Structure 1
Amino acid sequence: MGGVADDDPTRKDSRRWAAEAIRRLTAEREAAGPTPLLRFPLPGDRGVTLLFKDESAHPTGSLKHRAARALFRHAIATGRLTEGATVIEATGGNAAVAQAHFARLLGLPYIAVMPGEESAARAEPVRALGGECRFVTPPLAIYEEARRLAADTGGCYLDQFTWAERALDWRGDDLAGELFAQAAGPPAWVVAGAGTGATAASLGRHIRYHGLETRLAVVDPENSAYYQGWLTGAHDYATGMPSRIEGIGRPRMEPGFLPSLVDLMLPVPDAAAVAGARAVRAATGRAVGGSTGANLWGALHLVARMREQGTGGTVVSLVCDAGDRQARTWHDDGWVAGRGLDPAPWGAVIDRFLATGESDAPGG
């Protein structure tokens, strides 16, 4: 009849490697355990609680750790990633660090194709994990370069913007399942940002799959296409301008962002995201990035609205990342001013709300 025999040794070796790789990824997740759910202090007791799930507790320090693990697992299970293949991704931030971690765990070469001019600060964390960084200009050329490298090396282009939304579990064994299991009953709102869109999609799907009353709000920084695309229903909406808030916001509507799952979009000024990051650090001691600051701004908007409406409940959001790199950037006045951002007016709004409960419409 032709074809390959069931006892073909090459196929058996491939399946054996895939099974062992999946076992290692599963063991890594089980050893790490759930990330903590922290209470964020609010003024007074008006029946509204604000919680943050601290994704900076992952071994690589960011929310991207989950997506990287899921991408590797999905690529192996679908046969896209095989033993010895070079793993390649087009990315410039926390995703590269997390992916380099998992490539090393599986003994695979890793190349991050990063946008812009060479930067030792951006490359160092990836290289420390055994990965390689290649910088490309113009920035949007990173995707084509990643595809070319994958073709030339016979490697696997992970392509997070295509695959992360499909790879990240939403039924119960990853972020969504952990978050809702840790919360004391379904929260009124969950607040997240959108980079690939995978995290928001997993939360939205979990809510619908389990028939929960929780609503999903997505915060969006300046220059991003997601808010206007959601508002207008234009799934091909694009701004052509990169987000300044690492990890969230995109110049185009990515396939992993699913507008139908989002109950509310909240545009957040970039300077307000910086102010939010500093407010989180003041309250928790964690030097978080701008994406977490945007989450706080959006969460406080919802807390204020719930209080005005006299409704109680819980708002849950995410600490997306934290560490020395954020301390040297978002929390450094000179670095922030060099990017034309002035967080002071927005910080005053947050401080007043957290001190008195009086709101100048956070998130408005």
Structure 2
Amino acid sequence: MINWARLAFQRLTSDQRRTADTHLLKVCIPGLEGIDIYLKDESTQPTGSLKHRVARSLFMHAISSGKIVKDTHVVEASSGNTAISEAYFAKLLELPFTAVMPRNTSQSKVSMIEAFGGRCHFVEDSSQVYDAAQALALEYGGHYMDQFTYAEQASDWRSEDSIAASIFRQMSSEAHPVPHAVVMSAGTGGSAATLGRYIHYKGMDTKLIVTDPENSVFYDSFIKKDRSLTEANGSRIEGIGRPRVEASFLPEVITSMIKVKDQLTLATMYWFEELTGRRVGASTGTNLYGVLEVAAAMKARGEKGSIVTLICDDGSRYADTYWNLEWAMNKVGDFKFEAEELRRYA
């Protein structure tokens, strides 16, 4: 078993060294002169999303803790991106893998999980994924990875290979090297925890602004300082928002939060395509709307500076959902009014 663990760490470390950095893109927004907007492009990771870093950390954490050994069947509760990345690493380590996810997860994500040799187990509602994943792991004699509990523990926020360190290193030669704010949406809360901890660790003045979609409990929990809150409905923005406060969500490192209407998320996605010619995923739309809110407040105060956010994944994964206008209108609602509101930034 020790020899297998050594080989596993070698393969995981090799992947980390090959893929440690991603591009930081500067985007010019005509209505926000004097405020520089940057997007850390995590869609260029080998598995196409921010969750590539998280999944690798979760495997390292579980193997070093003795939870995963040779032939362990790994089970995860995920709406897609984490499962895709974990399926990739499970294949790399020659481990069986099952993802538990809501039935409405986009077909493109399901296909990618299966392409890496993983299998998908569907539940009707996002609130059911936890119990179903635990039950399957017990049935298989395997390990429930549980990203919602361990994402913030597994991520090495002090490492110079972390996403936070990468952002600030890449910003060092820009006009405003210390960002006014970093804007990040919350799924598990792990990425926001990494960013917030690093900002505190380095003693920076940068604010961490966390965006949250409708039908998610994080925002209300942050405002009310109550971790016991739950939400009956699941988020319509795939990959972010949760019906309960996850263990990886650390409100103490967050400066403030912004609640984003789902129609505004979609309107921002379509507006960004008009601006740049690029399609991004829905969670990135939530991030970008938060950036616009922060930037508009800075402009109103006569401030200049920089704001950083993340491209969590590419829009191609949502060709049959959010980027299908008929589907989007039916599932989320008409967002023509919100789209018109964004034209002030054109």
Q: TM-score range by the shorter chain?
A: over 0.9
CA distance in 1, matches of 2:254, 2:337: 29
Structure 1, gaps ≥5 residues long: 1-13, 356-364
3-state secondary structure, aligned to 2:191:
helix
- Which deviates further from its counterpart, 264-273 or 236-245? 236-245
The structure having more radius of gyration, on CA atoms, is 1
Matched with 1:43 is 30
1:73 counterpart (55, 60, 68): 60
1:179 aligns with 2:167: yes
Q: How many residues align?
A: 341
Provide structure 2 residue ranges, at least 5 long, that are not aligned to the other structure.
Answer: none
The answer on 1:311 being equivalent to 2:298 is no
CA RMSD of aligned residues (A): 1.7
Residue 19 and residue 189 in structure 1: after superposition, are their counterparts in 2 closer, same or farther (change >3 A)? Answer: same
Cα offsets for 1:145-184 (capped at 9, x unmatched): 2212222222111011011111112113211111111113
Q: Is the Cα–Cα contact under 8 Å of residues 127 and 234 in structure 2 kept in the other structure?
A: no
Select 2:97's aligned residue among 106, 110, 113. 110
Q: Which one of the candidate residues 72, 83, 97 is aligned to 1:85? A: 72
Deviates more, 1:329-338 or 1:283-292: 283-292
User: Residues 288 and 327 of structure 1 are in contact (CA less than 8 Å); yes or no, is this contact kept in structure 2?
Assistant: no
Q: Percent of pairs identical after alignment? A: 43
How far off is 1:137 after superposition? 3.6
| Aligned-partner Cα distance in 2 for 1:159–1:208 | 26
Q: Sort the Cα spacing of 1:255 and 1:110 in 2 relative to 1 into closer, same or farther, 3 A.
A: same
Q: Is residue 87 of structure 2 the alignment partner of residue 95 of structure 1?
A: no
Select the residue among 127, 147, 155 that pairs with 1:160. 147
CA-to-aligned-CA distance 1:173-209 (integer Å, 9 cap, x gap) = 2111111111132211000000100000000000001
Instruction: For 1:282 and 1:161, locate their aligned partners in 2 and report how far apart those are by CA, in whole Å.
Output: 35
SS at match of 1:92: coil
Greater relative CO, 1 or 2 (CA 8 Å, sep 6+): 2
Structure 1, 321-330 or 89-98: larger mean CA deviation = 321-330
Instruction: Report SS of the residue matched to 1:314.
Output: strand
Q: Is the 8 A contact 2:106 2:321 kept in 1?
A: no
1:65·1:95 contact (CA, 8 Å) conserved in 2?
Answer: yes
Match of 2:198 among 206, 209, 216: 206
- Cα pair distance change 1:330/1:169, threshold 3 Å: same
Q: How does 1:113-152 map to 2 (within 5 A)?
A: 113-116=100-103, 121-152=108-139
Question: Per the alignment, do residues 118 and 323 of structure 1 end up closer, same or farther by CA in structure 2, a change over 3 Å counting?
Answer: closer
Q: Is the 1:62–1:94 contact (alpha carbons within 8 Å) kept by the matching residues of 2?
A: yes
Structure 1 residue identity aligned to 2:163: L
122 and 34 in structure 1: CA distance in 2 versus 1, 3 angstrom threshold: closer
Query: What does residue range 1-364 of structure 1 map to in structure 2 within 5 Å?
Result: 14-43=1-30, 46-116=33-103, 121-172=108-159, 173-184=161-172, 185-353=177-345, 355=346
1:121-144 Cα offsets, whole Å, 9 max, x none, are: 542211111111111245433222
CA distance in 2, matches of 1:247, 1:229: 19
